């Protein structure tokens, strides 16, 4: 799993380990990965293997996949969780900013999938879960590159599902709503927004928790969704609905 050191990634690691999985977790910050691995292994007894990886780098991704196979023998589940919401208006989105966002949100999941698929094809089984965003569905002001990358990821998910369903491999995505991860909280503060401001726009009147997304990953990665592929599961507390205000 990529992006396993904090927030949603750490929660996914916890939930998968709680249900019997050994997990290789990757990100650029080894200290964060090691802290998650120590905590989850100590509590569950499952093997959590931290691997420092820049998922934008093809050679590092290839090495990550091979290391996973060497450590665990096979790859049953791939979770592409690493991503980044670099927020700039279109006129402030320089080509370099665009390329960096697409590299992280679209090219990186392609790389991990490209190097993982041969192992899944050989085993005739596998589940791929790509973490997308509701920005891919509804757009978001200031997020042209982010929304485009995540929309591309959802289309990529459908193609993987169609090409590799006959190999017993399923691919699905999760469109994540507003989740109070560490990075999101910092971003909201930077833009002068509070949790209360955001919750007023959510029908269920709360922001998401990392565990909300982790449970969705468990569903899509397990036999609970064995006849589901090529879909995007939206987990967002309900879509904002313009119109008359409704009293709480």
Q: What is the pLDDT of residue 135?
A: 93
pTM of the model: 0.94
Q: What is the pLDDT of residue 241?
A: 66
Give the chain's residues under pLDDT 50. 244
Q: Does domain 7-235 have CATH number 3.40.50.720?
A: yes
The domain locations on the chain are: 7-235
Q: What is the pLDDT of residue 223?
A: 97
Closest to 89 measured CA to CA, from 165, 146, 41: 146
Within 8 A by CB and 6+ apart from 87, the residues are 140, 142, 143, 146, 187, 191
Q: What is the pLDDT of residue 202?
A: 87
The dihedral built from the CA positions of residue 115, 74, 63 and 47, taken in this order, carries a sign that is: positive
Q: What is the pLDDT of residue 221?
A: 98
- Alpha-carbon distance of 183 to 85, in angstroms, equals 9
Residue range 75-94, pLDDT digits in tens: 999 999 999 877 889 999 99
Residue range 213-224, pLDDT digits in tens: 999 999 999 999
Concatenated DSSP letters for 90-149?
A: GGG--HHHHHHHHIIIIIHHHHHHHHHHHHHHHHT-EEEEEEEETHHHH--TTBHHHHHH
Q: Reduced to 3 states, what is the DSSP secondary structure of residue 3? A: coil
Q: What is the pLDDT of residue 180?
A: 84
Element (H, E) at 175: strand 169-176
Q: What is the pLDDT of residue 242?
A: 63
Q: Is 128 exposed, middle or buried (0-12, 13-18, 19+ CB in 10 A)?
A: buried
Q: Which two tokens stand for residue 205?
A: 């009147």
User: Which of the residues are catalytic?
Assistant: 146
Q: What is the pLDDT of residue 142?
A: 86
Q: What is the pLDDT of residue 228?
A: 98
Q: What is the C-alpha end-to-end distance of the chain, expressed in Å?
A: 39
């Amino acid at each position: 799993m990529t992006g396993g050191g904090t927030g949603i990634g750490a929660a996914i690691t916890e939930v998968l380990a709680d249900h019997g999985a050994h997990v290789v977790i990757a990100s650029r910050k080894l200290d964060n990965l090691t802290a998650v691995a120590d905590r989850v292994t100590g509590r569950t007894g499952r093997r959590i293997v931290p691997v420092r990886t820049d998922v934008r780098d093809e050679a590092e991704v290839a090495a990550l996949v091979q290391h996973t196979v060497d450590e665990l023998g096979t790859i049953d589940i791939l979770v592409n969780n690493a991503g980044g919401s670099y927020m700039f208006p279109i006129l402030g989105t320089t080509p370099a900013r665009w390329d960096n966002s697409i590299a992280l949100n679209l090219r990186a999941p392609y790389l991990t999938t490209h190097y993982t698929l041969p192992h899944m094809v050989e085993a005739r089984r596998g589940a791929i879960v790509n973490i997308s965003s509701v920005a891919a569905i509804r757009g978001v002001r200031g997020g042209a590159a982010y929304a485009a990358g995540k929309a591309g990821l959802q289309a990529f998910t459908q193609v993987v599902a169609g090409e590799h369903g006959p190999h017993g491999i399923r691919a699905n995505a999760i469109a994540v709503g507003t989740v109070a991860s560490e990075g999101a909280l910092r971003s909201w503060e930077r833009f002068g927004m509070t949790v209360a401001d955001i919750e007023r726009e959510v029908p269920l009147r709360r922001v998401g928790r990392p565990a909300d997304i982790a449970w969705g990953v468990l569903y899509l990665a397990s036999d609970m969704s064995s006849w589901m592929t090529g879909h995007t599961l939206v987990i967002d507390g309900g879509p904002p609905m313009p119109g008359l205000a409704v009293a709480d």
